[in-house]
Chain A
Amino acid sequence: MRETLDPWTFVIAAYAIGVIGTLVLLGWAWLTMRRAERRRDGDAG
């Protein structure tokens, strides 16, 4: 018997993982850059 799968469940899962993961990576890269540059500029002052 062939099982029936709802294709939208897979599409939404893939989009949720891809979009949320990319946004988290962007946020982490931005925050670590700001923190490192503040530390360097603070040390210089």
Chain B
Amino acid sequence: MHSFANPKRFLGIARPLTPWLLAVGLLVAGGALAWGLTQVPAERLQGETVRIMFLHVPAAWLGMAGWTVIASASLVEIVWRHPLSAIAGRAAAVPGAFFTAQCLVTGSIWGRPAWGTWWEWDGRLTSMLVLLFLYLGYIALAQAAAREGASSRLAAIFGLVGVVNVPVIHFSVLWWSSIHQPPSLSMGGSAMAPAFLWPLLVATLGFSCLFAAIVLMRMRALLADAQAEARLRRRARDADAEPVPT
């Protein structure tokens, strides 16, 4: 694992992988959304609004997956103190926050015709909102540490502690009485008709490729910033060390 955490080796993999993930993600996600919008039949109870699922469910999955990436990177940073893991955590934060916000907004738009309300303070919706606030807190902490040149360990501890919210989101519809429906997909099978299940799986795959491409682009940007910063500091130190002509 340490060999892959080498910045040079990472860039050797990330540079060719980024355009591929972008192209595949755009093609697959775009195709799945077009499929969901034009080919999928209206659902018996929810009618045409069921099509919002092809945006809402991948966004929910990526919001939770994003924090799982942050928590894993934080664990690696705390245990092995590898700087690339701090960069990986920071890189997942903005796309994770974006997809969490997208999940909340599309869910609210879906909720109005389906439930008759834009918002309800129930377990699933509230725990997803808490996840968005956790992302904002993590971004603020990590940016402050980077700006001050301080250690990113505080953000890493926050990232690790915040992961407790991910199972709360998942099980919220089972633990508490909720306006939100229980999970339709599990390891054991699906309660969903194939006409809805397949475009949903393809959309999730496409958006996951886009998420991975965004994380790689953010990692490359943060790494380049850190390398440029380190070079400037080295030059300033060398200039200070040069003897002054008398």
> Is B one of A's binding partners?
yes
B50-73 residues with Cβ-Cβ distance < 8 A to A are: 51-52, 55-56, 59
- B116 vs chain A, min Cβ distance (A): 9
Q: Interface residues, chain A, CB within 8 Å of chain B? A: 5, 7-8, 10-11, 13-15, 17-19, 21-22, 25-26, 29-30, 32-33, 35-37, 39-40, 43-44
**Complex contact A11–B228 (CB within 8 A):** no
Q: Is the interface of A mostly helix, strand, loop or mixed?
A: helix
**Complex contact B224–A29 (CB within 8 A):** no
- B103 vs chain A, min Cβ distance (A): 10
**Complex contact B214–A26 (CB within 8 A):** yes
- A45 vs chain B, min Cβ distance (A): 11
Q: Interface residues, chain B, CB within 8 Å of chain A? A: 22, 29, 33, 37, 47-49, 51-52, 55-56, 59, 94-95, 98, 102, 105-106, 109-110, 112-113, 207, 210, 213-214, 217-218, 220-222, 224-225, 227-228, 231-232
Q: How far is the CA of A37 from the CA of B105 in the complex (A)?
A: 34
Task: Kindly identify which residue among A5, A14, A30, A39 contacts B55, using a CB–CB cutoff of 8 Å.
Answer: A14
Q: Is the interface of B mostly helix, strand, loop or mixed?
A: helix
**Complex contact A21–B49 (CB within 8 A):** no
Task: Kindly identify which residue among B59, B113, B214, B227 contacts A40, using a CB–CB cutoff of 8 Å.
Answer: B227
Residues of A within 8 A of B228 (CB): 36, 39-40, 43
- In the complex formed, the residue of A with least CB distance to B25 is A26
Q: How far is the CA of A16 from the CA of B49 in the complex (A)?
A: 14
Known A7-B49, A17-B102, A21-B98; contact A26-B55, beta-carbon cutoff 8 A? no
**Complex contact A37–B221 (CB within 8 A):** yes
**Complex contact A10–B217 (CB within 8 A):** no
Q: How far is the CA of A15 from the CA of B217 in the complex (A)?
A: 24
Task: Kindly identify which residue among B22, B33, B59, B113 contacts A15, using a CB–CB cutoff of 8 Å.
Answer: B33
- B218 vs chain A, min Cβ distance (A): 6
Q: How far is the CA of A32 from the CA of B218 in the complex (A)?
A: 8
**Complex contact A29–B217 (CB within 8 A):** yes
19 A–B contacts, CB within 8 A, in A order: A5-B113, A8-B48, A10-B52, A11-B37, A11-B52, A14-B52, A14-B106, A17-B109, A18-B102, A22-B207, A29-B94, A29-B213, A29-B214, A33-B224, A36-B224, A36-B228, A39-B228, A40-B224, A44-B231
